[in-house]
Structure 1
Amino acid sequence: MQNQLEMLRIFKAVAESSNFKEASIRLGISPQSVTRAIKELEERLGEPLFYRSTRNTTITEFGKQMALKSEEVLEQVDTLFQLNQHADTPQAIEGTVKITMPNTFGQQYLLPALTAFAKEYPNIQLDLRFSNLIDNVVADQMDIGVRIGFFSNNRNVARRVNEIKFHIVGAPALIAKTGAPQQVNDLCTMPYTGLIDQNTGRMWSWTFADEPDCFPSAPAFITDDIKAELAAVLAGIGYGQLPNFICEQYIKSGQLVTVLEDQSPAPWGVYVYRPQRGPVAERVRVLFDYLAKTLSEVNFS
């Protein structure tokens, strides 16, 4: 039993040819295959499609009606399978792409890039979700995710595109008051801030190059928002361990001063990832590559 769609393609070729042999040459198959397909199609329809003779093949009236209908069906099928083929122009790519990203980092670096992308690809609808929670892109039906940190989930296709460095910083007024810490243990006797991990509800530990991780036990300021922590550090409430993408400009302006620079921890990766499932839609592939390229070119320092 042959595929119905393939039988229609063979029928269409025969209808456009003078005989079965000519149709077989056009299709690149044997004349016997053409004959079998037409015979099976006629049996299914219960009507003859061609009058056959030794010299030529003449289509019946019923066959003519079938030829018109089958041409329309085949065109619709071909159009359906061409929807997500590589398009020649940005305007030809369409559909929705759902993206999840961290709050502050996403609004500061991804939002400007994504608005530019939306102008270039006007028929792609962007659905942006800002969250510091670690998302399950499959369960949450996300197409693309951006994450800062460490990535070991082999259920996703992930690309490390950049890195984030951390600084221990304090306001000049605070340093003038407490003196600059000379070693990690000095920080325990000075005011410092604590940032709550929204995934666990516990405070992030401070990590160092050569010293064990330190879990804040009595911070002078606690928050679950990194911009609020930055504001507290700028105000001189305490020292903070902050990522360079949020504090670098204040270091350059002199509003913050780095301390214990030799104890800066290993950088965290910036990852663009997507679910590892089946073929990738053109709109997702284009945006994934765009985000990876855009983030790889950012100099956070």
Structure 2
Amino acid sequence: MFNRLDYLKIFCTTIRHKTFKDAAIELNVSPQVITRCIKELEAELGEILFVRSTRSIKVSTFGLQFYEKAKATLNLIDEMFAPHVNDNLPVRITAPAVICRLFVMPLIEKISLANPEIHFDVRPSDAISDVVESQIDIGIRVGSQLTSNRFIGRSLAKIRHVIVATPALIAKHGIPETPDDLHRLPTTLLMDKNKNQPWPWFFTDHPSLIPANPAFTTDSGESEFAAVRAGLGFGQLAIFMAAPYIKNGELIPVLQSFEEKSGELDLFLYRPQSGPVPHRTRLVYDAFVEHFSSPDFFFTQY
């Protein structure tokens, strides 16, 4: 028993030939299969599609009309499965706001110039987005390894941090000599949105700590950075954020003897675990992997 799509394919092939045998050769089936299919299609339509003779077949007037509809239907199905059909769908990306601004957007601009057919939907967020529920194609996060089996994640780079303050704040409160001195100084505190708890400050050869009396608390990395630049407190910032301001003298690094690999966190790229990966998403994902995978990508000298 044929389904209706089989009927259309066999009918459209048959109409291009003079005999059912010729159509059967093209479709690699027996002439009896072609004959049975055409008879069943004619019975379902209630119309004659071909006038048969011992030597050839001739399409009927109704058959010609039906052929135009059948051909258009098959063409539409072919277009539906063509790779270019889905190119107007965006690649949805989420990343921490500061990484989105400094790195993701310039990279998207570069990808877009080379692939103008790819559209983007970018959602800056410091929280881990559920890529399945939010229909996110690619996510970037900083911190510990992803444990959910709903994601495929890979570490691409290490993000190191440095403790800095403004010259005015240091002139007022002095320079801390050990990490424990931070408990008596004004500091900034960044909350981890995913765990609803503070991010600890990490040091080499010294236990991590959470400053006891933060002068400024936020769950936004951009806001913490602005607070440190405004002189509200000492902050442990990503080197790639702080380096330009250290170079121009706006910020001064402290506790440098404790700085080696201090606050070193992984940058992860992740995407949904199940299902095929569209070409547009694979292209962007691979570009992100290549862009961020340099071991020194986030290690900016100051």
Scaled to the shorter chain, the TM-score interval is: 0.7 to 0.9
The answer to whether the 8 Å contact 1:93/1:121 transfers is no
Provide the C-alpha distance between the structure 2 equivalents of 1:236 and 1:77, rounded to a whole number of angstroms.
63
2:130 aligned residue: 136
- Specify which of 252, 261, 267 is matched with residue 264 of structure 1: 261
- 5 Å matches for 1:138-153? 138-150=132-144, 151-153=146-148
After superposition, the CA RMSD in angstroms is 2.9
SS at match of 1:207: strand
2:33 aligned residue: 33
- 5 Å matches for 1:81-230? 81-84=81-84, 93-150=87-144, 151-171=146-166, 180-230=175-225
SS at match of 1:37: helix
- The amino acid that maps onto 2:51 is Y
Query: For the structure 1 residues 78 and 248, does the alpha-carbon distance in structure 2 shift closer, same or farther, using more than 3 Å as the test?
Result: same
Corresponding pairs, count: 295
Provide the C-alpha distance between the structure 2 equivalents of 1:192 and 1:266, rounded to a whole number of angstroms.
16
CA displacement, residues 274-295 of structure 1 (integer Å, 9 cap, x when unaligned)? 2234233333233222333333
1:276 aligned residue: 273
Deviation, 1:82, is 0.7
- Specify which of 226, 233, 239 is matched with residue 234 of structure 2: 239
SS at match of 1:17: coil
- The amino acid that maps onto 1:65 is Q
1:299 aligned residue: 297
Provide the C-alpha distance between the structure 2 equivalents of 1:180 and 1:50, rounded to a whole number of angstroms.
95
> Please, which moves more after superposition, 176-185 or 4-13?
176-185
- 5 Å matches for 1:35-50? 35-50=35-50
Provide the C-alpha distance between the structure 2 equivalents of 1:5 and 1:66, rounded to a whole number of angstroms.
14
Query: For the structure 1 residues 245 and 153, does the alpha-carbon distance in structure 2 shift closer, same or farther, using more than 3 Å as the test?
Result: farther
Provide the C-alpha distance between the structure 1 equivalents of 2:8 and 2:199, rounded to a whole number of angstroms.
64
Deviation, 1:14, is 1.0
Provide the C-alpha distance between the structure 1 equivalents of 2:170 and 2:287, rounded to a whole number of angstroms.
42
- The amino acid that maps onto 1:45 is L
- Which ranges in structure 1 are unaligned for 5 or more consecutive residues? 86-91
Query: For the structure 1 residues 129 and 280, does the alpha-carbon distance in structure 2 shift closer, same or farther, using more than 3 Å as the test?
Result: same
Provide the C-alpha distance between the structure 1 equivalents of 2:125 and 2:183, rounded to a whole number of angstroms.
31
TM-score scaled to structure 1, two decimals? 0.83
- The amino acid that maps onto 1:101 is A
Deviation, 1:189, is 4.0
The answer to whether the 8 Å contact 2:216/2:227 transfers is yes
The answer to whether the 8 Å contact 2:201/2:263 transfers is no
The answer to whether the 8 Å contact 2:49/2:62 transfers is yes
SS at match of 2:197: coil
Provide the C-alpha distance between the structure 2 equivalents of 1:39 and 1:208, rounded to a whole number of angstroms.
82
> Please, which moves more after superposition, 213-222 or 166-175?
166-175
SS at match of 1:278: coil
TM-score scaled to structure 2, two decimals? 0.83
The answer to whether the 8 Å contact 1:99/1:129 transfers is yes
CA displacement, residues 209-249 of structure 1 (integer Å, 9 cap, x when unaligned)? 44443223212333333334334444555432211221122
Provide the C-alpha distance between the structure 1 equivalents of 2:289 and 2:276, rounded to a whole number of angstroms.
19
Provide the C-alpha distance between the structure 2 equivalents of 1:296 and 1:262, rounded to a whole number of angstroms.
23
Provide the C-alpha distance between the structure 2 equivalents of 1:283 and 1:263, rounded to a whole number of angstroms.
39
Percent same amino acid at aligned positions? 39
Query: For the structure 1 residues 152 and 199, does the alpha-carbon distance in structure 2 shift closer, same or farther, using more than 3 Å as the test?
Result: closer
- Which ranges in structure 2 are unaligned for 5 or more consecutive residues? none
> Please, which moves more after superposition, 231-240 or 19-28?
231-240
The answer to whether the 8 Å contact 1:95/1:123 transfers is no
Provide the C-alpha distance between the structure 2 equivalents of 1:241 and 1:277, rounded to a whole number of angstroms.
37
